[in-house]
Amino acid sequence: MGTEADSQHLHVETFLVAAGRPERSPGSPANVAVELTSTYAADGPVNYARSGNPTWNAFEEALGGLEGGHALVHASGMGAISAALALVPAGGTVVAPDTTYNGTGDLLVAHEKGGGTVLRVHATDTAGFLAALESADLLWLESPTNPLMDVTELDVVLARSRELGVTSVVDNTLSTPLLCRPLSLGADVVVHSVTKYLSGHSDVVLGATVVADTERGREIGERLRRHRTLHGAIAGPMEVFLALRGLRTLSVRFERAGASAAELARRLEGHPAVERVRYPGTGAMVSIDVAGDADAAERVCASTRLWLHATSLGGVESQLERRRRHPSESEQVPVNLVRLSVGIEHVDDLWADLAQALDHV
Protein backbone atom coordinates (compact mmCIF):
# COMPACT_ATOMS: atom_id res chain seq x y z
CA MET A 1 0.00 0.00 0.00
CA GLY A 2 2.71 2.70 0.15
CA THR A 3 0.62 5.26 2.03
CA GLU A 4 2.39 8.21 3.59
CA ALA A 5 0.07 8.16 6.60
CA ASP A 6 2.03 7.68 9.81
CA SER A 7 0.19 7.00 13.05
CA GLN A 8 3.14 8.33 15.08
CA HIS A 9 3.14 11.78 13.54
CA LEU A 10 -0.43 12.55 12.51
CA HIS A 11 -3.34 13.34 14.77
CA VAL A 12 -5.65 10.37 14.95
CA GLU A 13 -8.45 12.23 13.12
CA THR A 14 -6.08 12.79 10.21
CA PHE A 15 -4.66 9.28 10.27
CA LEU A 16 -8.20 7.87 10.05
CA VAL A 17 -8.71 9.76 6.80
CA ALA A 18 -5.25 9.24 5.32
CA ALA A 19 -4.34 5.66 6.20
CA GLY A 20 -4.53 2.77 3.76
CA ARG A 21 -4.81 4.87 0.60
CA PRO A 22 -3.17 3.76 -2.65
CA GLU A 23 0.19 5.30 -3.47
CA ARG A 24 -0.30 8.62 -5.26
CA SER A 25 0.73 8.92 -8.88
CA PRO A 26 -0.88 10.70 -11.84
CA GLY A 27 -4.30 9.12 -12.34
CA SER A 28 -4.16 6.89 -9.26
CA PRO A 29 -7.48 6.26 -7.47
CA ALA A 30 -8.24 7.86 -4.12
CA ASN A 31 -9.51 4.60 -2.67
CA VAL A 32 -8.27 1.05 -2.61
CA ALA A 33 -9.95 -1.21 -5.16
CA VAL A 34 -12.28 -4.02 -4.19
CA GLU A 35 -10.25 -6.85 -5.59
CA LEU A 36 -12.62 -9.66 -6.47
CA THR A 37 -10.46 -12.67 -7.17
CA SER A 38 -10.03 -16.05 -5.55
CA THR A 39 -6.54 -16.67 -6.89
CA TYR A 40 -3.48 -14.92 -8.29
CA ALA A 41 -0.96 -15.68 -10.99
CA ALA A 42 1.93 -17.66 -9.51
CA ASP A 43 5.08 -16.20 -7.93
CA GLY A 44 3.54 -12.96 -6.60
CA PRO A 45 3.27 -11.85 -2.95
CA VAL A 46 -0.08 -13.68 -2.50
CA ASN A 47 -1.06 -16.85 -4.32
CA TYR A 48 -4.59 -17.53 -3.06
CA ALA A 49 -7.19 -15.15 -1.65
CA ARG A 50 -7.83 -17.14 1.53
CA SER A 51 -4.46 -15.88 2.75
CA GLY A 52 -4.51 -12.31 1.51
CA ASN A 53 -6.17 -9.59 -0.50
CA PRO A 54 -5.06 -5.98 -1.18
CA THR A 55 -8.38 -4.63 0.12
CA TRP A 56 -7.67 -6.35 3.44
CA ASN A 57 -4.16 -4.89 3.47
CA ALA A 58 -5.49 -1.34 3.29
CA PHE A 59 -7.87 -1.83 6.22
CA GLU A 60 -5.25 -3.72 8.22
CA GLU A 61 -2.77 -0.92 7.71
CA ALA A 62 -5.27 1.64 8.99
CA LEU A 63 -6.42 -0.35 12.03
CA GLY A 64 -2.88 -1.50 12.84
CA GLY A 65 -1.75 2.13 12.89
CA LEU A 66 -4.65 3.15 15.12
CA GLU A 67 -3.95 0.43 17.70
CA GLY A 68 -0.17 0.75 17.38
CA GLY A 69 0.47 -2.73 15.98
CA HIS A 70 -0.25 -5.13 13.13
CA ALA A 71 -3.88 -5.95 12.31
CA LEU A 72 -5.55 -8.93 10.69
CA VAL A 73 -9.10 -8.73 9.41
CA HIS A 74 -11.41 -11.69 10.19
CA ALA A 75 -14.85 -12.67 8.92
CA SER A 76 -16.56 -11.38 12.08
CA GLY A 77 -15.83 -10.30 15.62
CA MET A 78 -16.50 -13.90 16.64
CA GLY A 79 -14.02 -15.08 13.98
CA ALA A 80 -11.41 -12.83 15.60
CA ILE A 81 -12.38 -13.99 19.11
CA SER A 82 -12.20 -17.66 18.06
CA ALA A 83 -8.72 -17.14 16.63
CA ALA A 84 -7.55 -15.36 19.80
CA LEU A 85 -9.06 -17.99 22.14
CA ALA A 86 -7.27 -20.69 20.14
CA LEU A 87 -4.03 -19.26 21.61
CA VAL A 88 -4.86 -21.04 24.87
CA PRO A 89 -3.70 -24.66 24.89
CA ALA A 90 -6.41 -27.35 25.12
CA GLY A 91 -7.05 -27.93 28.81
CA GLY A 92 -5.43 -24.59 29.68
CA THR A 93 -6.67 -21.95 32.13
CA VAL A 94 -8.36 -18.73 31.01
CA VAL A 95 -8.96 -15.81 33.35
CA ALA A 96 -11.91 -13.68 32.22
CA PRO A 97 -14.48 -11.22 33.55
CA ASP A 98 -17.59 -12.94 34.95
CA THR A 99 -19.65 -11.06 32.37
CA THR A 100 -18.41 -10.61 28.81
CA TYR A 101 -20.08 -10.25 25.45
CA ASN A 102 -22.29 -13.37 25.47
CA GLY A 103 -20.69 -14.90 22.35
CA THR A 104 -17.34 -14.85 24.13
CA GLY A 105 -19.05 -16.26 27.22
CA ASP A 106 -20.42 -19.17 25.17
CA LEU A 107 -16.95 -19.94 23.77
CA LEU A 108 -15.52 -19.92 27.30
CA VAL A 109 -18.16 -22.46 28.33
CA ALA A 110 -17.16 -24.56 25.31
CA HIS A 111 -13.53 -24.33 26.49
CA GLU A 112 -14.59 -25.74 29.85
CA LYS A 113 -16.59 -28.53 28.19
CA GLY A 114 -13.40 -29.42 26.29
CA GLY A 115 -11.57 -29.96 29.59
CA GLY A 116 -10.18 -26.43 30.05
CA THR A 117 -10.58 -24.17 33.07
CA VAL A 118 -12.08 -20.69 33.18
CA LEU A 119 -11.51 -18.52 36.27
CA ARG A 120 -14.16 -15.80 36.28
CA VAL A 121 -13.46 -12.56 38.13
CA HIS A 122 -15.71 -9.55 38.52
CA ALA A 123 -14.52 -6.92 36.04
CA THR A 124 -13.76 -4.35 38.75
CA ASP A 125 -12.02 -6.80 41.12
CA THR A 126 -8.38 -5.96 40.41
CA ALA A 127 -7.06 -8.04 43.33
CA GLY A 128 -9.12 -10.99 42.07
CA PHE A 129 -7.52 -10.73 38.63
CA LEU A 130 -4.01 -10.49 40.10
CA ALA A 131 -4.58 -13.64 42.18
CA ALA A 132 -6.16 -15.62 39.33
CA LEU A 133 -3.33 -14.70 36.95
CA GLU A 134 -0.88 -16.82 38.97
CA SER A 135 -2.29 -19.99 37.40
CA ALA A 136 -3.42 -18.60 34.02
CA ASP A 137 -2.43 -19.48 30.47
CA LEU A 138 -4.53 -16.71 28.93
CA LEU A 139 -6.06 -13.50 30.23
CA TRP A 140 -9.24 -12.28 28.51
CA LEU A 141 -10.43 -8.73 29.17
CA GLU A 142 -13.23 -6.56 27.87
CA SER A 143 -13.55 -2.99 29.07
CA PRO A 144 -16.09 -1.64 29.56
CA THR A 145 -17.93 -4.95 29.71
CA ASN A 146 -20.92 -5.52 27.49
CA PRO A 147 -23.63 -4.87 28.70
CA LEU A 148 -22.87 -4.08 32.38
CA MET A 149 -20.44 -1.27 31.47
CA ASP A 150 -18.00 -2.24 34.23
CA VAL A 151 -14.48 -0.90 33.78
CA THR A 152 -11.39 -2.99 34.55
CA GLU A 153 -8.08 -1.47 35.68
CA LEU A 154 -6.45 -2.55 32.45
CA ASP A 155 -3.03 -1.04 33.13
CA VAL A 156 -2.56 -2.87 36.45
CA VAL A 157 -3.94 -6.22 35.31
CA LEU A 158 -2.11 -6.17 31.97
CA ALA A 159 1.19 -5.19 33.60
CA ARG A 160 0.99 -8.21 35.93
CA SER A 161 0.00 -10.47 33.07
CA ARG A 162 3.06 -9.30 31.15
CA GLU A 163 5.32 -9.91 34.18
CA LEU A 164 4.02 -13.47 34.49
CA GLY A 165 4.32 -14.11 30.75
CA VAL A 166 0.56 -14.83 30.49
CA THR A 167 -0.81 -14.12 27.01
CA SER A 168 -3.40 -11.34 27.23
CA VAL A 169 -6.27 -10.40 24.95
CA VAL A 170 -8.48 -7.29 25.18
CA ASP A 171 -11.79 -6.94 23.36
CA ASN A 172 -11.62 -3.23 22.54
CA THR A 173 -14.90 -3.06 20.60
CA LEU A 174 -16.74 -0.69 22.95
CA SER A 175 -13.82 1.68 23.63
CA THR A 176 -12.33 1.78 20.13
CA PRO A 177 -8.68 2.89 19.76
CA LEU A 178 -9.89 6.46 20.24
CA LEU A 179 -10.42 5.82 23.96
CA CYS A 180 -8.05 2.96 24.71
CA ARG A 181 -4.99 1.38 23.10
CA PRO A 182 -4.48 -1.86 25.01
CA LEU A 183 -1.21 -2.77 23.24
CA SER A 184 0.37 0.33 24.79
CA LEU A 185 -0.70 -1.00 28.22
CA GLY A 186 1.01 -4.34 27.63
CA ALA A 187 -1.74 -6.43 25.97
CA ASP A 188 -0.60 -9.06 23.49
CA VAL A 189 -3.73 -9.07 21.33
CA VAL A 190 -6.58 -6.63 20.72
CA VAL A 191 -9.78 -7.99 19.21
CA HIS A 192 -12.55 -6.00 17.59
CA SER A 193 -16.01 -6.55 16.34
CA VAL A 194 -15.42 -4.25 13.36
CA THR A 195 -19.16 -4.64 12.78
CA LYS A 196 -19.68 -1.98 15.46
CA TYR A 197 -18.05 1.47 15.75
CA LEU A 198 -15.15 0.92 13.39
CA SER A 199 -17.38 0.38 10.36
CA GLY A 200 -20.24 2.23 12.04
CA HIS A 201 -23.17 1.89 9.61
CA SER A 202 -24.73 -1.48 10.48
CA ASP A 203 -24.03 -2.75 6.98
CA VAL A 204 -21.18 -5.22 7.49
CA VAL A 205 -20.21 -8.05 9.83
CA LEU A 206 -16.46 -8.10 10.30
CA GLY A 207 -13.75 -8.60 12.92
CA ALA A 208 -10.08 -7.94 13.54
CA THR A 209 -7.15 -8.92 15.71
CA VAL A 210 -4.17 -6.64 16.34
CA VAL A 211 -0.76 -7.59 17.81
CA ALA A 212 2.22 -5.49 18.89
CA ASP A 213 5.17 -4.78 16.63
CA THR A 214 7.54 -6.82 18.80
CA GLU A 215 9.11 -10.27 18.37
CA ARG A 216 6.49 -11.73 20.74
CA GLY A 217 3.71 -9.83 18.96
CA ARG A 218 4.83 -11.01 15.53
CA GLU A 219 5.03 -14.61 16.74
CA ILE A 220 1.45 -14.42 18.11
CA GLY A 221 0.37 -12.64 14.92
CA GLU A 222 1.67 -15.54 12.84
CA ARG A 223 -0.39 -17.99 14.92
CA LEU A 224 -3.49 -15.83 14.41
CA ARG A 225 -2.82 -15.55 10.68
CA ARG A 226 -2.39 -19.32 10.41
CA HIS A 227 -5.65 -19.84 12.30
CA ARG A 228 -7.45 -17.47 9.94
CA THR A 229 -6.06 -19.17 6.85
CA LEU A 230 -6.63 -22.75 8.01
CA HIS A 231 -10.00 -22.31 9.71
CA GLY A 232 -11.05 -20.14 6.80
CA ALA A 233 -13.14 -17.48 8.55
CA ILE A 234 -12.06 -14.83 6.07
CA ALA A 235 -13.65 -11.53 5.14
CA GLY A 236 -15.08 -10.65 1.75
CA PRO A 237 -13.26 -7.73 0.10
CA MET A 238 -16.48 -5.73 -0.29
CA GLU A 239 -17.15 -5.85 3.46
CA VAL A 240 -13.61 -4.72 4.14
CA PHE A 241 -13.95 -1.85 1.68
CA LEU A 242 -17.13 -0.72 3.45
CA ALA A 243 -15.43 -1.00 6.83
CA LEU A 244 -12.54 1.16 5.66
CA ARG A 245 -15.00 3.71 4.29
CA GLY A 246 -16.77 3.74 7.64
CA LEU A 247 -13.50 4.04 9.54
CA ARG A 248 -12.78 7.35 7.81
CA THR A 249 -15.50 9.04 9.91
CA LEU A 250 -14.93 7.20 13.20
CA SER A 251 -13.71 10.25 15.09
CA VAL A 252 -16.64 12.49 14.14
CA ARG A 253 -19.22 9.74 14.69
CA PHE A 254 -17.75 8.70 18.04
CA GLU A 255 -17.38 12.27 19.24
CA ARG A 256 -21.04 13.08 18.51
CA ALA A 257 -22.35 9.77 19.85
CA GLY A 258 -20.19 10.07 22.96
CA ALA A 259 -21.41 13.60 23.72
CA SER A 260 -25.02 12.49 23.31
CA ALA A 261 -24.47 9.40 25.49
CA ALA A 262 -23.12 11.61 28.29
CA GLU A 263 -26.10 13.92 27.99
CA LEU A 264 -28.63 11.07 27.89
CA ALA A 265 -26.97 9.42 30.92
CA ARG A 266 -27.35 12.73 32.76
CA ARG A 267 -31.04 13.06 31.82
CA LEU A 268 -31.78 9.40 32.65
CA GLU A 269 -30.26 9.73 36.13
CA GLY A 270 -33.14 10.33 38.51
CA HIS A 271 -35.85 9.56 35.91
CA PRO A 272 -38.70 7.88 37.80
CA ALA A 273 -38.85 4.96 35.30
CA VAL A 274 -35.11 4.26 35.64
CA GLU A 275 -33.74 2.35 38.61
CA ARG A 276 -30.06 2.57 37.67
CA VAL A 277 -27.93 4.15 34.96
CA ARG A 278 -24.77 2.27 33.95
CA TYR A 279 -22.52 4.69 32.15
CA PRO A 280 -18.73 4.36 32.36
CA GLY A 281 -18.24 8.11 31.96
CA THR A 282 -16.98 7.89 28.39
CA GLY A 283 -17.88 6.12 25.13
CA ALA A 284 -21.25 5.92 23.46
CA MET A 285 -22.99 3.11 25.36
CA VAL A 286 -25.32 3.45 28.32
CA SER A 287 -27.22 0.62 30.00
CA ILE A 288 -30.25 1.27 32.20
CA ASP A 289 -32.14 -0.91 34.66
CA VAL A 290 -35.73 0.15 34.17
CA ALA A 291 -37.90 0.49 37.27
CA GLY A 292 -39.93 -2.65 36.63
CA ASP A 293 -39.65 -6.26 35.48
CA ALA A 294 -38.54 -7.86 32.21
CA ASP A 295 -41.92 -7.12 30.61
CA ALA A 296 -41.63 -3.44 31.51
CA ALA A 297 -38.18 -3.36 29.90
CA GLU A 298 -39.56 -5.09 26.79
CA ARG A 299 -42.35 -2.52 26.60
CA VAL A 300 -39.77 0.28 26.54
CA CYS A 301 -37.92 -1.43 23.67
CA ALA A 302 -41.16 -2.01 21.77
CA SER A 303 -42.31 1.59 22.19
CA THR A 304 -39.53 3.58 20.54
CA ARG A 305 -40.06 5.03 17.08
CA LEU A 306 -36.60 6.44 16.38
CA TRP A 307 -34.37 4.09 18.37
CA LEU A 308 -34.07 0.77 16.55
CA HIS A 309 -35.00 -2.23 18.67
CA ALA A 310 -32.19 -4.53 17.54
CA THR A 311 -29.28 -6.61 18.75
CA SER A 312 -26.25 -4.64 17.77
CA LEU A 313 -24.41 -1.45 18.64
CA GLY A 314 -22.04 1.12 17.24
CA GLY A 315 -24.08 2.19 14.23
CA VAL A 316 -24.96 5.76 13.25
CA GLU A 317 -28.55 4.94 14.21
CA SER A 318 -29.36 4.55 17.90
CA GLN A 319 -30.34 1.06 19.00
CA LEU A 320 -31.67 -0.49 22.17
CA GLU A 321 -32.28 -3.97 23.49
CA ARG A 322 -33.14 -5.89 26.66
CA ARG A 323 -30.14 -8.17 26.80
CA ARG A 324 -31.65 -10.99 28.86
CA ARG A 325 -33.99 -11.73 25.96
CA HIS A 326 -31.03 -13.86 24.76
CA PRO A 327 -31.00 -17.18 26.66
CA SER A 328 -27.18 -17.26 26.73
CA GLU A 329 -26.83 -13.80 28.31
CA SER A 330 -25.13 -13.90 31.72
CA GLU A 331 -27.44 -14.24 34.72
CA GLN A 332 -25.47 -11.40 36.29
CA VAL A 333 -27.21 -9.10 33.83
CA PRO A 334 -30.48 -7.92 35.40
CA VAL A 335 -33.62 -9.01 33.53
CA ASN A 336 -34.75 -5.36 33.38
CA LEU A 337 -31.49 -4.06 31.87
CA VAL A 338 -31.86 -2.26 28.54
CA ARG A 339 -28.67 -1.54 26.62
CA LEU A 340 -28.59 1.71 24.69
CA SER A 341 -26.21 2.24 21.78
CA VAL A 342 -26.28 5.96 21.13
CA GLY A 343 -26.01 7.03 17.50
CA ILE A 344 -25.42 10.38 15.85
CA GLU A 345 -28.98 11.73 15.66
CA HIS A 346 -29.83 14.97 17.49
CA VAL A 347 -29.78 14.31 21.21
CA ASP A 348 -33.12 16.05 21.79
CA ASP A 349 -34.86 13.75 19.30
CA LEU A 350 -33.28 10.74 20.97
CA TRP A 351 -34.36 11.98 24.38
CA ALA A 352 -37.94 12.72 23.29
CA ASP A 353 -38.32 9.21 21.87
CA LEU A 354 -36.74 7.53 24.87
CA ALA A 355 -38.76 9.59 27.35
CA GLN A 356 -42.06 8.64 25.68
CA ALA A 357 -40.96 4.96 25.58
CA LEU A 358 -40.16 5.10 29.31
CA ASP A 359 -43.77 6.17 29.92
CA HIS A 360 -44.67 2.54 29.08
CA VAL A 361 -42.87 1.17 32.14
Active-site residue set:
50, 101, 171, 196
Q: Is 152 in the site for ligand PLP (CB under 6 A)?
A: no
Q: Is 189 in the site for ligand PLP (CB under 6 A)?
A: no
* One of 3, 193, 251, 330 touching ligand PLP (CB under 6 A): 193
Number of residues located near ligand PLP, criterion CB under 6 A: 14
**Alpha-carbon distance 252 to 329, whole Å?**
32
CA quadruple 220, 222, 225, 231: dihedral, nearest 10: -80
Decide: 272 and 322 in contact? Cβ < 8 Å. Answer: no
Which stretches does DSSP call E strand in the chain?
69-74, 93-97, 117-121, 138-142, 167-171, 189-193, 207-212, 274-278, 285-290, 308-309, 319-322, 337-341
**Alpha-carbon distance 141 to 161, whole Å?**
11
- Nearer of residues 174 and 211 to ligand PLP, judged by Cβ: 174
- Nearer of residues 253 and 299 to ligand PLP, judged by Cβ: 253
**CA torsion through residues 176, 181, 99, 124, sign:** negative
Q: Is 103 in the site for ligand PLP (CB under 6 A)?
A: yes
Residue 211 pairs in a beta bridge with 70, 189
Q: Is 139 in the site for ligand PLP (CB under 6 A)?
A: no
Strands 189-193 and 167-171: parallel
- Nearer of residues 32 and 190 to ligand PLP, judged by Cβ: 190
* One of 63, 87, 157, 205 touching ligand PLP (CB under 6 A): 205
* One of 61, 67, 171, 321 touching ligand PLP (CB under 6 A): 171
Q: Which stretch binds ligand PLP (CB under 6 A): 168-176, 215-223, 225-233, 323-331?
A: 168-176
Q: Is 330 in the site for ligand PLP (CB under 6 A)?
A: no
- Nearer of residues 234 and 296 to ligand PLP, judged by Cβ: 234
- Given the rule CB under 6 A, which residues bind ligand PLP? 76-78, 101, 103, 142, 146, 171, 173-174, 193, 195, 205, 207
